[in-house]
């Protein structure tokens, strides 16, 4: 291909994507498209497989099956599952941010954005010492790179802090810096993994402004994983909903918002109740699907109990720097959860609390916690740092329990309950 891509050619086409970890089907036969120039949101409850989709697109995981076609604006097509992962940013022009912020916290903001352009700088230097010393193309490329970095610092409303260490920034500003850094690589597809998680309303607004600016004023299309439905509804053009690795809805935000399967997934109701809702809206096609033989790897009960067995298959993959990472065995994670229960058993006469009142705990995580005997605010209120670390590892929620302050929230709810019962 060489001719400019037609606007109708999707920038990303995912076909029959599957990713299995041992016996756990993290993604099952997923197909969707992201259109050029749009913001496509990928949503779904915790553990639905959203980050795994990103890890396949960006080459961190080689999918078990499926095809992911990226078509650049000039019409060049790339089969992402076939590209070595270091070629995905450079050739296919895909950039990403991570669910847990990854910045060089000791470097200044400007330095972070220059490092992102490292490949371009090295090329301009001709990979020679003279080049690096500024004789030849490097000086010019460097000036251009500084200009580009400044441009994105301005767009991200961070230019005043260009010379501060990235680690000194407030959380929401670090999120915008990560996006600025990704934009400095000139991506055609920008993949953002939960950029709004943990942001306050003001930071959330600044993020929306930045994303709308990228959408309207650059050629970059956005694929966005997001839990915050208000962000999704406000800025996305198209929403794809996953649950237990399968697509359950796909359409514009209004369509998805009113889809009974999506409502059911977010409310965490039983399949029987879902069926009731669907019958009441007369969705025969979906009712037929529900009637079909259930997939044992995807029932809500199956997936949580599979944590112990399936996740114990150690998976190796490469991180940003190409370094091998291995995921620690899941069985011991489950045992650590049981150890938390031993340290903080529920009061013998205590009724269970609605843990979903704690911001950050959705129905899926409530169920996982309940399965390990954690049922009350008082139990979570008593968690130590080690308990938090064990729960974060088990729920695959690195850093979030701490950041969302589940323990502090639980203390307040526990205190309010005590106050109410006196
Ligand atoms: N490297 C891995 N090894 C084993 N299992 C994994 C691995 N990565 C993900 N999983 C499992 O795959 C499933 C999907 O995880 P994933 O992180 O993609 O979900 P998510 O939708 O991003 O969830 P969240 O909203 O909590 O970020 C989970 O059950 C998870 O435990
Ligand atoms: Mg995730």
Q: For each of the chain's 422 residues, which pLDDT tens digit applies?
A: 446 667 789 999 999 999 999 889 999 999 999 999 999 999 998 889 999 999 999 999 999 999 999 999 999 999 999 998 888 988 999 999 988 878 888 889 998 998 888 766 555 544 444 444 454 444 555 888 889 999 999 999 999 999 999 999 998 999 999 999 999 999 999 999 999 888 888 888 899 999 999 999 998 999 999 887 778 888 999 999 999 999 999 999 999 988 888 888 776 655 566 566 556 555 555 455 545 544 444 433 322 222 222 222 223 333 333 333 333 344 477 778 888 888 888 888 878 999 988 888 887 788 889 988 999 999 999 999 989 988 988 887 777 888 889 999 999 989 888 876 54
Which protein residue's CA is at the shortest distance from atom 23 of ligand 1?
A: 47
Ligand 2 (ion): residues with CB under 5 Å are 50-51, 99
By alpha-carbon position, which residue is closest to atom 17 of ligand 1? 51
What's the rounded Cα separation, in Å, for the pair 152 and 155?
Answer: 5
334 lines ligand 1 (CB under 6 A): no
49 Cβ inside 6 Å of ligand 1: yes
Give residue 227 CA to ligand 2 midpoint distance, Å: 9
Pocket test for ligand 1, best of 30, 42, 52 (most atoms within 8 A of CB): 52
Q: Which ligand is nearest to the CA of 302?
A: 1
DSSP helix, strand, coil percent of the chain (3-state; round to 5): 45, 15, 35
Closest ligand relative to 395 C-alpha: 1
Atom of ligand 1 at shortest range from CA of 53: 18
> Residue 365: CB within 6 Å of ligand 1?
no
- Cβ-Cβ contacts under 8 Å for 251 (sequence gap 6 or more): 238, 239, 259
Residue 172 neighbours by CB under 8 Å, 6+ apart: 199, 200, 202, 203, 204, 206, 207
Residue nearest to atom 11 of ligand 1 (CA): 26
The verdict on the CB of residue 57 being under 6 Å from ligand 1 is no
pLDDT of residue 396: 77
Encoded tokens for 91? 């050739």
Q: Report d(CA 39, CA 20) in Å as an integer.
A: 27
Q: Which of 311, 328, 401 to mutate to test the pocket of ligand 1 (most atoms within 8 A of CB)?
A: 311
Q: Which ligand 1 atom sits nearest the alpha carbon of residue 49?
A: 18
C-beta 46 within 6 A of ligand 1: yes
Ligand 1 contact, 44 CB (< 6 A): yes
Beta-bridge partners for 101: none
State which ligand 1 atom lies nearest to the alpha carbon of 327: 1
Q: Is the pTM of this model over 0.75?
A: no
Q: Is the CB of 48 under 6 A from ligand 1?
A: yes
Kindly state if the Cβ of 51 falls inside 6 Å of ligand 1.
Answer: yes
Tell me which residue of 23, 57, 19, 21 sits closest to 40, measured CA to CA. 57
pLDDT of residue 421: 55
Distances (CA, A) of 217 to 38, 185, 213, 358: 12, 16, 6, 38
**For ligand 1, is residue 50 a contact (CB within 6 Å)?**
yes
- The ligand minimizing its distance to the Cα of 192 is 2
Task: Give the model's pLDDT for residue 29.
Answer: 95
Measured in angstroms, how far is the CA atom of residue 190 from the centroid of ligand 2?
16
Beta strands in 206-342 (DSSP E): 221-225, 238-243, 246-251, 316-318, 324-326
Helices (H) and strands (E) in the chain, counts: 20, 12
**pLDDT score for 276:** 63
Report the residue count for the chain: 422
């Amino acid at each position: 291909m060489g001719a400019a891509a037609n606007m109708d050619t999707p920038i990303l086409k995912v076909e029959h994507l599957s990713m299995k970890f041992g016996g756990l089907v993290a993604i099952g036969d997923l197909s969707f498209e992201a259109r050029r120039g749009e913001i496509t949101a990928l949503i779904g409850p915790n553990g639905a497989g959203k980050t795994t989709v990103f890890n396949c697109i960006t080459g961190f995981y080689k999918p078990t099956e499926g095809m992911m076609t990226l078509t650049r604006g000039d019409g060049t097509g790339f089969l992402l599952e076939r590209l070595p992962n270091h070629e995905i940013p450079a050739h296919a022009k895909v950039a990403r941010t991570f669910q847990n912020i990854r910045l060089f916290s000791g470097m200044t903001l400007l330095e972070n954005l220059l490092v992102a352009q490292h490949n371009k700088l090295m090329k301009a230097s001709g990979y020679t010492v003279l080049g690096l010393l500024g004789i030849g193309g490097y000086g010019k490329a460097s000036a251009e790179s500084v200009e580009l970095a400044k441009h994105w610092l301005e767009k991200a409303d961070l230019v005043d802090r260009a010379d501060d260490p990235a680690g000194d920034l407030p959380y929401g500003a670090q999120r915008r810096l990560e996006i600025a850094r990704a934009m400095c690589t000139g991506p055609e597809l920008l993949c953002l993994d939960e950029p709004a998680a943990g942001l306050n309303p003001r930071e959330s607004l600044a993020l929306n402004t930045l994303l709308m600016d990228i959408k309207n004023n650059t050629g970059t299309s956005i694929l966005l994983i997001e839990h915050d439905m208000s962000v999704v509804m406000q800025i996305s053009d198209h929403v794809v909903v996953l649950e237990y690795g399968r697509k359950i809805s796909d359409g514009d935000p209004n369509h998805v918002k009113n889809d009974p399967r999506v409502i059911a997934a977010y409310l965490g109701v039983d399949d029987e109740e879902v069926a009731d809702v669907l019958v009441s809206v007369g969705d025969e096609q979906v009712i037929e699907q529900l009637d079909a033989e259930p997939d044992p790897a995807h029932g809500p009960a199956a997936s949580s109990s599979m944590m112990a067995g399936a996740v114990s298959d150690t998976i190796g993959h490469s991180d940003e720097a190409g370094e091998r990472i291995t995921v620690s065995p899941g069985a011991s994670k489950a045992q650590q959860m049981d150890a938390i229960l031993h340290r903080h058993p529920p009061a013998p006469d205590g009724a269970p609390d609605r843990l979903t009142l704690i911001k950050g705990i959705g129905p899926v995580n409530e169920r996982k916690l309940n399965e390990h005997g954690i049922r009350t605010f008082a139990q979570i209120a008593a968690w130590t740092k080690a308990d938090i670390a064990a729960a974060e590892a088990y729920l695959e929620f690195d850093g979030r329990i701490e950041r969302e302050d589940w323990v502090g929230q639980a203390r307040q709810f526990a205190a309010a309950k005590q106050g109410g019962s006196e």
